[in-house]
């Protein structure tokens, strides 16, 4: 997997068996982009790809050369202040107020492996030879500032990562007004931009629109990556489908404010950028200081959206998520939130846990309401002490009772928040993010702790460590239930205020790092009012996340389908809940609720003790099924087959790496009448293996038949195996494929 530098042409070529990424040192000694796409044979000189054009009005680099303008060339690092008049990735303000810089090639280093990014989550390698990294150093001689552009190419995947570090070695104090992680100039704009967008309860819906001239983008200025946009941009060709065609996926390993945008200029060059949102960001670099941007991950796929997703899944499941739980099948859990909300006592909790244990559940999770005086959401965040009225033997006693039932025990926290009605607030009212002499806006009756303060991090570290080490706790749900406002750190000078959003994230990552190092076997599940901070940054520490507060099976089809564009099934918390559903009031069959929730990390979110005998028997069956198949579901290769955004049918499947087993989920939202003869074409199978499908007539089918013809799904007439299917709305079916 070479990273080659051609001395004569001053050209870099990063390639593996699947992709090539090529750039050159331009006549001004700055790196210019030449090519990103399917692998090309290496050769000395691709510099003809550096297209130059004479354009009236454009500022040019050299006198007497009207064709070399930074506005016209494709660049690796777009910098504001010289001749590039598009939106740029770097804006560095100097003491005299000037923005102009000239970062020229200084040297480069190629290393085997991948260095970690200080204080930030990032992808990593486990074994020698999995990836190589190019560190390209650019230097501004006037400022004595250096930039390290970091490029990693993975050996076996069409995956590249990029980030940037700015190092102030000079005597000036300089300010970063913008420091994005990636800037990529694509030579044409014939793409459609895919975004994962939504709101609370309908997170990560897929929206696609053609690129148009000008700027289009996604962002968050809420202090968390948000329900509204996920830090991901897909660029696909118009003809690209799930199974064929070109697509570039760009994802940011970060959980705070971000900007992802594509600017199509007058000459149809598409500049893609992603990174920390420059608004409300200003980072001062004193002499000797440096700033590291988060990492951007780029996937190039030639075989459609499924291939892009499969690469993301593999990379994020095995080389972004980390720790003890990374490769382990996840426990089947019961969470009491929708069963009791905050209205519970120990007796009720043990009763739910007992029926869960009886049905085969493995982990009981006690949600919000166990601490301080927390009977409503107006109080007690920050006071991480059990409420003796609800839990007379504390968390330690409850954990003992739960583990005696044969279950593991998990606990909910919302560490980053504070209620004004709390002991913590009474003793540390200056620990809020707030402007001291102005009103602070409550959100869900709570306020955000100032995680830029070391003493706040230390307090939370100690408070959580005390509970985690004092009881048999094997899982933590890490919640976060409001967006940030009045983002100001009390006691800090004005200069510091431009750092607060990002410094907060560094504080959060530090806290997560400390706790995961101290309690490596505790499984962390991230949550933010459902999926409000479901992103690659959190995934580094929390191998699974609660994807939405919306637990309705029909709604979940879209949420899970959209989420799967980037995130692996092992990261998606998905539970069966009660009907009528608490968010939509819809009643779906228990079978369908299970069939949807299987495709994730499975669990229940209802009072199992209230189920009928028949329902309990069905739940027992679901749990048995999931225990048998979770390894395949959570670690297999996932294919989207039919989109809920396109119609009434949703379908997806997972295939084992050896292709001898597969599970297909098929969902028909509303019952049609007197329809034709639908078929469902499968994917990813071995053409010449014979698969037995009990749920399709107990017959054997070759893989090629299943992929070219499909499973016959005649839902409207009776006869042979189809007579067994459910009728009515919200129908779902599972097909289990096994090579005999």
Binding residues vs ligand DGJ (CB under 6 A): 337, 367-368, 412, 479, 481, 527, 529-530, 546, 549
Q: How far is the CB of 368 from ligand DGJ (least distance, A)?
A: 3
Q: How far is the CB of 487 from ligand DGJ (least distance, A)?
A: 22
**How many Å apart are CA 254 and CA 223, to the nearest integer?**
11
DSSP letter at 659 equals S
Q: How far is the CB of 335 from ligand DGJ (least distance, A)?
A: 7
Query: Is 718:706 a contact under the CB 8 Å cutoff?
Result: no
**How many Å apart are CA 708 and CA 270, to the nearest integer?**
37
- Identity of the residue, 421 or 479, whose beta carbon is nearer to ligand DGJ in the bound complex: 479
**How many Å apart are CA 194 and CA 248, to the nearest integer?**
10
- Identity of the residue, 148 or 605, whose beta carbon is nearer to ligand DGJ in the bound complex: 605
> Catalytic residue at 549?
yes
Return the bridge partners of 60, or none: none
Cβ count within 10 A of residue 471: 19
- Identity of the residue, 191 or 412, whose beta carbon is nearer to ligand DGJ in the bound complex: 412
Q: How far is the CB of 275 from ligand DGJ (least distance, A)?
A: 28
Return the bridge partners of 5, or none: 12
Q: How far is the CB of 575 from ligand DGJ (least distance, A)?
A: 9
- Identity of the residue, 185 or 367, whose beta carbon is nearer to ligand DGJ in the bound complex: 367
Give the burial class of 191: count Cβ atoms within 10 A of its Cβ; 0-12 exposed, 13-18 middle, 19 or more buried: buried
**How many Å apart are CA 484 and CA 493, to the nearest integer?**
20
User: Which H/E stretch holds residue 210?
Assistant: strand 205-210
> In this chain, which residue has its C-beta nearest to ligand DGJ?
368
If we measure between CA atoms, which residue out of 211, 215, 217, 207 comes closest to residue 190? 211
- For residue 14, which phi and psi values (nearest 5 degrees)? -105, 125
- Identity of the residue, 130 or 479, whose beta carbon is nearer to ligand DGJ in the bound complex: 479
Helix (H, G, I), strand (E, B) or coil at 656: coil
**How many Å apart are CA 550 and CA 527, to the nearest integer?**
13
Q: How far is the CB of 414 from ligand DGJ (least distance, A)?
A: 7
**How many Å apart are CA 408 and CA 394, to the nearest integer?**
16
- Identity of the residue, 170 or 603, whose beta carbon is nearer to ligand DGJ in the bound complex: 603
- Identity of the residue, 69 or 335, whose beta carbon is nearer to ligand DGJ in the bound complex: 335
- For residue 533, which phi and psi values (nearest 5 degrees)? -145, 45
State the first-to-last Cα distance of the chain, in angstroms, to the nearest integer.
39
- Identity of the residue, 86 or 330, whose beta carbon is nearer to ligand DGJ in the bound complex: 330
Q: How far is the CB of 601 from ligand DGJ (least distance, A)?
A: 14
Helix (H, G, I), strand (E, B) or coil at 298: strand
- Identity of the residue, 130 or 367, whose beta carbon is nearer to ligand DGJ in the bound complex: 367
Give the burial class of 297: count Cβ atoms within 10 A of its Cβ; 0-12 exposed, 13-18 middle, 19 or more buried: buried
User: Which H/E stretch holds residue 528?
Assistant: none
Q: How far is the CB of 380 from ligand DGJ (least distance, A)?
A: 12
- Identity of the residue, 315 or 553, whose beta carbon is nearer to ligand DGJ in the bound complex: 553
User: Active site residue: 479, 550, 552, 607, which one?
Assistant: 479
User: Active site residue: 265, 450, 549, 550, which one?
Assistant: 549
Which of 574-606 are b and which e, b meaning 16 or more Cβ less than 10 Å from the residue's Cβ?
bbbbbbebbbbeeebbbbbbbbbbbbbbbbbbb
> Catalytic residue at 479?
yes
**How many Å apart are CA 490 and CA 310, to the nearest integer?**
45
Q: How far is the CB of 342 from ligand DGJ (least distance, A)?
A: 8
CA 549 to chain centroid, in Å, comes to 17
Cβ count within 10 A of residue 550: 22
Sign of the alpha-carbon torsion through 307, 309, 312, 318: negative
**How many Å apart are CA 264 and CA 86, to the nearest integer?**
9
Q: How far is the CB of 224 from ligand DGJ (least distance, A)?
A: 13
Q: State the catalytic residues.
A: 479, 549
């Amino acid at each position: 997997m070479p990273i080659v530098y051609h001395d004569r042409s001053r050209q870099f070529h990063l390639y593996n068996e699947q992709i090539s990424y090529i750039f050159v040192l331009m006549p001004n000694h700055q790196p210019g982009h030449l090519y990103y796409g399917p692998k090309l044979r290496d050769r000395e000189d691709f510099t003809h790809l550096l297209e130059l054009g004479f354009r009236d009005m454009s500022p040019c680099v050299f006198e007497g050369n009207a064709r070399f303008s930074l506005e016209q060339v494709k660049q690796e690092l777009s910098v504001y202040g010289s001749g590039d008049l598009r939106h740029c990735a770097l804006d560095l303000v100097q003491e005299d107020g000037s923005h102009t810089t000239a970062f020229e090639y200084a040297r480069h280093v190629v290393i085997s492996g991948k260095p970690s990014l200080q204080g930030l989550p990032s992808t990593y390698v486990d074994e020698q030879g999995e990836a190589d990294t190019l560190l390209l150093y650019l230097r501004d001689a006037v400022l004595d500032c250096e930039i390290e552009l970091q490029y990693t190419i993975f050996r076996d995947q069409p995956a590249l990562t990029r980030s940037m570090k700015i190092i102030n070695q000079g005597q000036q104090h300089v300010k970063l007004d913008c420091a994005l992680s990636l800037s990529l100039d694509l030579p044409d704009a014939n793409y459609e931009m895919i975004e994962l967008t939504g709101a609370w309860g309908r997170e990560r819906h897929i929206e696609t629109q053609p690129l148009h001239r000008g700027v289009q983008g996604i962002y968050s200025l809420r202090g968390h990556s948000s329900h509204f946009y996920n830090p991901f941009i897909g660029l696909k060709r118009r003809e690209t489908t799930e199974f064929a065609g070109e697509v570039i996926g760009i994802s940011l390993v970060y959980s705070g404010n971000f900007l992802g945008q594509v600017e199509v200029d007058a000459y149809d060059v598409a500049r893609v950028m992603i990174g920390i949102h420059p608004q409300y960001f200003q980072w001062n670099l004193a002499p000797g200081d440096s700033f590291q941007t988060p990492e951007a991950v780029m996937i190039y796929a030639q075989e459609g959206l499924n291939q892009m997703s499969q690469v993301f899944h593999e990379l994020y499941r095995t080389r972004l998520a980390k720790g003890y739980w990374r490769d382990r099948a996840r426990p089947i859990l019961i969470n009491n939130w929708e069963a009791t909300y905050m209205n519970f006592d120990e007796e009720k909790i043990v009763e739910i846990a007992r029926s869960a244990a009886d049905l085969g559940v493995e982990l009981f999770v006690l949600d919000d309401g166990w601490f301080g005086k927390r009977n409503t959401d107006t109080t007690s965040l920050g006071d991480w002490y059990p409420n003796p009225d609800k839990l007379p033997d504390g968390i330690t006693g409850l954990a003992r009772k739960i583990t005696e039932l044969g279950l593991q025990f998990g606990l909910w926290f919302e560490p980053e928040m504070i209620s004004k009605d709390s002991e913590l607030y009474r003793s540390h009212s200056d620990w809020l993010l707030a402007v001291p002499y102005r009103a602070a806006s409550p959100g869900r009756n709570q306020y955000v702790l100032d995680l830029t303060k070391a003493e706040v991090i230390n307090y939370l570290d100690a408070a959580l460590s005390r509970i985690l080490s004092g009881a048999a706790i094997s899982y933590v749900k890490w919640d976060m239930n409001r967006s940030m406002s009045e983002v100001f750190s009390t006691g800090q000078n004005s200069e510091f205020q431009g750092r607060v959003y990002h410094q907060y994230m560094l504080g959060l990552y530090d806290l997560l790092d400390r706790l995961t190092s101290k309690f490596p076997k505790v499984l962390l599940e991230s949550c933010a009012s459902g999926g409000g901070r479901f992103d690659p940054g959190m995934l580094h520490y929390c191998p699974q996340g609660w994807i939405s507060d919306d637990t309705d099976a029909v709604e979940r089809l879209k949420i899970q389908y959209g989420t799967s564009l980037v995130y692996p099934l092992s990261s998606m918390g998905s539970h069966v809940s009660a009907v009528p559903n608490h968010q939509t009031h819809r009643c779906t069959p228990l079978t369908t609720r299970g069939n949807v929730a299987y495709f994730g990390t499975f669990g229940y979110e209802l009072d199992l003790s209230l189920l009928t005998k028949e329902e309990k028997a069905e739940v027992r069956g679901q749990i048995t099924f999931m225990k048998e198949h979770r390894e395949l579901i959570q670690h297999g290769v996932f294919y989207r087959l039919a989109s809920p955004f396109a119609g009434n049918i949703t379908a997806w499947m997972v295939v084992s790496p050896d292709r001898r087993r597969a599970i297909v989920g098929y969902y028909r939202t509303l019952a049609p009448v007197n329809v034709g003869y639908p078929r469902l074409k499968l994917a990813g199978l071995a053409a010449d293996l014979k698969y037995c499908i009990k749920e399709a007539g107990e017959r054997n089918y070759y893989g090629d038949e299943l992929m070219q013809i499909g499973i016959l799904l005649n839902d409207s007439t009776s006869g042979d195996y189809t007579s067994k299917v459910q009728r009515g709305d919200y129908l779902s079916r599972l097909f289990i494929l096994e090579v005999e």
